[in-house]
């Protein structure tokens, strides 16, 4: 199936307003069929430096544009993305595998950041503070930080880019995007739509590469880059953060998670099951805020498992382009092997298989949605992010134990709680060591809220007015002799 928009499948990189080819190319494949969708340029260090130079050259004019003009261009980009929603969604399903309905949802969600920051561009206010002497005044200016490098993962090929680029552009910063090697096509399509509406050359650049380390080295060490915004795994994030140290770059890190989903005895079980399905099986479990551990209290343990299993059986595995499919393939063979390893480890240590547990009859990287009960803290899945369609259930008996289990991880991205007693909810919410807590809700991402983690889940926030601040510096001006 080909996307509707004739120009949306682009197989060249985008640097300084030019579509760049290269002799070395790499394949982008459809994880549902294994077919090659396109071959894109396999760029290296010199291209990365070109992209930084283009962004650096575009910076003075872009930052000096009236905020209202930047806002207008962002708004036009938003309108164009929404107009091309169907074509973008199809492209994303083709290269990433998620069901088309989810891909459409991601276009809407991703576009919402462009819309929001088009509005926020006009509200990037500084402040005046009381002076420290009768003849002095304190002025605090908020200024764009400079060239931004955005390195993004494959699980949300569109939204992870707009979440970074929209606030950067709104603040007055140009960006160099390094999309994941599995999903560069959505990134290139986004750049094309930005070009269509007149974003100036060099303000957005997209560089593609099969092996990211060489480009990553340039983006994190070149002194012209003043901010690195990364979303991806914790090990890569740590490495990039270390590389940023020499030039003391500001960095945002949206890294891995190990989200607990706590179901108390007084929870509305039907609502909890719906939340569990959304938070676990969306994007085939390949979401950083996906539940990794279900912690269920004694009194509702068996009932929750029975209801959850019944809903899991309703999930339909298949090619994301097919009507009715709710669970697509995993991104690659490595992802499939990790899910299998977690299941085998847990079963070998006494976990009980309730449903699923195997590769799907469709073959390839399709896996059955899986439910394991009686999972314990000595199992691999208790500590590592599975990033696949495996729901492990742990048992707890009281609030203190639930909090201790929920916090027993070096990660701190998202946590979910289902309960009715408001005192319990308040107490648990305060005790959870997480950047985001969802109460009686399975989905929490929105452009209106600050998304991000604590501990080894990351640094910085994306979304809301806090997301804009990440791309700015404060300048204190002391006005004396008044």
Active-site amino acid positions:
254
CB of 243 to ligand NAD, least distance (A): 8
Q: Phi first, then psi: give them for residue 418, nearest 5 degrees.
A: -120, 120
**Binding residues vs ligand NAD (CB under 6 A):** 151-156, 160, 178, 180-181, 212-213, 216, 231-233, 236, 239-240, 254-257, 288, 385, 387, 413, 453, 458
Q: Which is nearer to ligand NAD, 299 or 334 (CB)?
A: 334
Residue whose CB is less far from ligand NAD, 269 or 413:
413
Question: Minimal distance in Å, beta carbon 266 to ligand NAD?
Answer: 31
254 or 374: whose CB is closer to ligand NAD?
254
Q: Does residue 263 contact residue 291 with C-beta atoms inside 8 Å?
A: no
**Quick check: 87 and 8 in contact, CB under 8 A?**
yes
- For residue 112, the minimal CB distance to ligand NAD (Å) is 16
Per-residue b or e along 453-481, where b marks 16 or more CB atoms closer than 10 Å to that residue's CB: bebbbbbbbbbbbebbbbbbeeeeeeeee
How near is the Cβ of 124 to ligand NAD at its closest, in Å? 23
Under 8 Å between Cβ of 149 and 227: yes
**Least gap, CB of 210 to ligand NAD (angstroms):** 9
Closer to ligand NAD at the Cβ: 283 or 368? 283
Closest C-alpha to 186, from 205, 166, 161, 150 = 161
Q: What would the two tokens of residue 87 be?
A: 């074509």
Integer CA distances (angstroms), 460 to 163, 316, 425, 467, in order: 12, 36, 26, 8
Cβ-based neighbour number of residue 350 at 10 Å = 11
Write the DSSP string, 207-251: ---SSTHHHHHHHHH-TTEEEEEEES-HHHHHHHHHHHGGGT-EE
Q: How far is the CB of 235 from ligand NAD (least distance, A)?
A: 7
Q: How far is the CB of 471 from ligand NAD (least distance, A)?
A: 16
Enumerate residues 6+ apart whose C-beta is below 8 A from 125. 142
- CB nearer ligand NAD, residue 132 or residue 238: 238
For 306, list phi and psi in degrees, rounded to 5.
-65, -45
**Residue 242: how many CB atoms within 10 A of its CB?**
10
The residues that bridge with 390 in the sheet, in sequence order, are 370
Query: Closer CB to ligand NAD, residue 223 or residue 350?
Result: 223
Ordered DSSP codes for 101-146 = HHHHHHHHHHHHHHHHHHHHGGG---EEE--SSTT-EEEEEEEE--
- In the bound complex, what is the minimum distance in angstroms from residue 348's beta carbon to ligand NAD? 25
Give residue number: closest CB to ligand NAD: 216
Host H or E run for residue 93: helix 85-96
Residue pair 359/265 in contact by the 8 Å Cβ criterion: no
Task: For ligand NAD, give the closer residue by CB, 73 or 240.
Answer: 240
| Sheet arrangement for strand 390-396 | 352-355, 370-373, 390-396, 291-297, 259-263, 414-418, 436-439
Please identify, using beta-carbon distances, which residue of 357 and 467 lies nearer to ligand NAD.
467
Torsion sign across C-alpha atoms 56, 61, 63, 69 = negative
């Amino acid at each position: 199936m080909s996307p509707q928009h004739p120009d949306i499948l682009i197989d060249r990189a985008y640097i300084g307003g030019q579509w760049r080819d290269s002799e070395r190319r790499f394949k982008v494949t459809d994880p549902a069929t294994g077919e090659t969708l396109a071959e894109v340029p396999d760029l290296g260090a010199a291209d990365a430096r070109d992209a930084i130079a283009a962004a650096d050259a575009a910076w003075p004019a872009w930052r000096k544009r009236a905020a209202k003009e930047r806002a207008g261009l962002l708004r036009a980009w938003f309108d164009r993305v929404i107009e091309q929603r169907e074509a973008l969604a199809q492209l994303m399903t083709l290269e990433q595998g998620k069901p088309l309905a989810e891909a459409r949802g991601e276009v809407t969600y991703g576009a919402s950041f462009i819309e929001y920051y088009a509005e926020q561009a006009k509200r990037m206010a500084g402040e005046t503070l009381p002076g420290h002497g009768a003849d002095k005044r304190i002025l605090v200016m908020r200024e764009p930080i400079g060239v931004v490098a955005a390195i993004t993962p494959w699980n949300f090929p569109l939204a992870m880019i707009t979440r970074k680029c929209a606030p950067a552009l709104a603040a007055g910063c140009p960006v160099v995007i390094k999309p994941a090697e599995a999903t560069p096509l959505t990134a290139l399509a986004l750049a094309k739509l930005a070009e269509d509406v007149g974003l100036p050359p060099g303000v957005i650049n997209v560089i593609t590469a099969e092996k990211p380390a060489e480009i990553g080295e340039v983006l994190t060490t070149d002194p012209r880059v003043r901010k690195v915004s990364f979303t991806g795994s914790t090990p890569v994030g740590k490495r990039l953060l270390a590389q940023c140290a020499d030039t003391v770059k500001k960095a945002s890190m949206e890294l891995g998670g190990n989200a607990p989903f706590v179901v108390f005895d007084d929870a509305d079980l039907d609502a909890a099951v719906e939340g569990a399905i959304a938070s676990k099986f969306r994007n085939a479990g390949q979401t950083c805020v996906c539940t990794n551990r279900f912690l269920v209290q004694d009194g509702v343990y068996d009932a929750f498992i029975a209801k959850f299993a019944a809903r899991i059986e309703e999930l339909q595995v298949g090619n994301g382009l097919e009507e009715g499919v709710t669970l697509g393939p995993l991104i690659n063979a490595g992802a499939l092997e990790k899910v299998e390893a977690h299941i085998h480890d847990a079963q070998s240590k006494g976990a009980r298989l309730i449903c699923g547990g195997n590769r799907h009859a469709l073959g390839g990287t399709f896996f059955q949605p899986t439910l394991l009960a009686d999972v314990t803290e000595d199992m691999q899945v208790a500590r590592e992010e599975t990033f696949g369609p495996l729901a492990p259930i742990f048992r707890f008996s009281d609030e203190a134990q639930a909090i201790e289990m929920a916090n027993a991880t070096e990660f701190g991205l998202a946590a979910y709680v289902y309960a009715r007693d408001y005192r319990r909810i308040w107490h648990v919410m305060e005790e959870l060591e997480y950047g985001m807590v969802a109460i009686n809700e399975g989905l929490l991402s929105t452009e209106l809220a600050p998304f991000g983690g604590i501990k080894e889940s990351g640094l910085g926030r994306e979304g809301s007015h806090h997301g804009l601040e990440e791309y700015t510096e404060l300048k204190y001006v002391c006005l004396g002799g008044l």
